[in-house]
Amino acid sequence: MNESEPSQIEVRQLFEAAWAHKQEFPSKLFVPVGQFQTHAAKEAEAQGIEVVRVPEGQLMPFIREAKESFKEYTKQGGMAQFPKGGTFDPGLN
């Protein structure tokens, strides 16, 4: 996978959404070696999150599980099944 890195604004919005969901950040952020080198790592470190770089292959079981959960979620109608303001927890905690 060789995706371009999200912009600084996109990364900040992602972190803001994560904070709004749980009111806390994780202690570590695992990122694939060679990816997300600038904005994501910088923002994570600014928030006190340890950035751990690992080979992408080691992340694949987690990525696969998240994709499967999201696929099932969208097959069930997505947010349509939740009350207004409800949240979706893909079981990644």
Q: What is the pLDDT of residues 4-43, one digit of tens each?
A: 788 999 999 989 998 998 899 989 999 999 888 889 999 9
CA 31, distance to chain mean position in Å, is 10
CA–CA gap between residue 35 and residue 81 (Å, rounded)? 35
For the chain, domain boundaries: 8-78
pLDDT given at position 91: 45
Q: Which residues in the chain belong to E strands, given as ranges?
A: 28-32, 50-54
pLDDT per position as a tens digit, 82-92: 444 444 444 44
